[in-house]
Amino acid sequence: MASTSAATLVNGLGSAFLTGGKKSQASLLCAAKAGGAAAPKRLNIVVAAATKKSWIPAVKGGGNFIDPEWLDGSLPGDFGFDPLGLGKDPAFLKWYREAELIHGRWAMAAVVGIFVGQAWSGIPWFEAGAAPGAVAPFSFGTLLGTQLLLMGWVESKRWVDFFNPESQSVEWATPWSRSAENFANATGEQGYPGGKFFDPLSLAGTLKDGVYIPDAEKLERLKLAEIKHARLAMLAMLIFYFEAGQGKTPLGALGL
C-alpha cells in the first residue's frame, strides 16, 4: 500500500529537469517502488523515545478516534489527532507532515507580515496590493509569471528531494558558491536541513572549525516548538480570512 501510494505521487515526475538527470530519475523511481525514499544519514546521537500523548487526555478509550494506532508519538507535536485516518498509510503520513510543516512556516511569515505591514502603512493586508503606494514598477502579469517560475522551480526541487533525499544537493550555481555544501541537509532529518545556511545562528547545532555539527537534543526541542507555533499561525490565518470577509483587520479587531 505504501509503495503504491508513493509511486502514485511521483507519477509524471520523470523529467530530467525535475529529477536532476537520468541517474537521479532512476533513484527516484526505485525509491518509490521500494516503499519510500532511502533513509538519509541520521544524527549519531540517541534521543529518548517520545511518550505517546493524547489530544483529549481526560478521555480514555475511544479506539482509533482518540488513540490512533498508526500514530506512535514519534513525530514532533504528535498528540494522536487524526480522526479522519489520513495518516494510516505511512507514505502519506510522511507527506502530510511535510505539507503541514511547509504551510505552517508560510503562515508564520504571513502573520508577522500582516501585523507589521499594517502597523507600518496603515493599509489592511487584503487591500495592500491595490494601494497606490504599493504599485511596483512591474505589471501584475510580470510579477505573477516571475513568482510562478521561481517558486515552481524551488518547489519542484523540494518535491523531488522529498522522495529522493540529497538528490538536489548539487553544484548548480557558481563554482565559488559551494551550493552543494551550503545547501546540503546537515541533520539528515526531512524538512530540517540545518547547516550554516539554514541555521546561521546555530540554534540547533554548533560551528566547530567552520563545520556545522547538529545537536539532536536542541533540534528535537526546536522541532516541537516550531510545529506548535506553525499550527497556531495557520489557525490565526484562518481567522484573518474570516475577518477580512467582514472588512475587518487583525489590528482593528484588537482595537489598535
Give how far the C-alpha of residue 100 lies from the chain's centroid of Cα atoms, to the nearest Å: 6
Say how many CA atoms lie within 13 Å of 52 toward its Cβ: 9
Determine whether the annotation assigns residue 97 to a binding site.
no
Determine whether the annotation assigns residue 155 to a binding site.
no
Residue 107 gets which letter from DSSP?
Answer: H
Helix (H) or strand (E) segment spanning residue 207: strand 205-208
Determine whether the annotation assigns residue 42 to a binding site.
no
Residues 6+ apart with CB under 8 A from 16: 22, 25
Determine whether the annotation assigns residue 231 to a binding site.
yes
Determine whether the annotation assigns residue 158 to a binding site.
no
Rounded Cα distance between 5 and 11, Å, is: 10
Instruction: Please calculate the CA angle 170-100-39 and round it to the nearest 5 degrees.
Output: 45
Instruction: Return binding residues.
Output: 100, 103, 105, 226, 231
Enumerate the known binding-site residues for chlorophyll a.
100, 103, 105, 226, 231
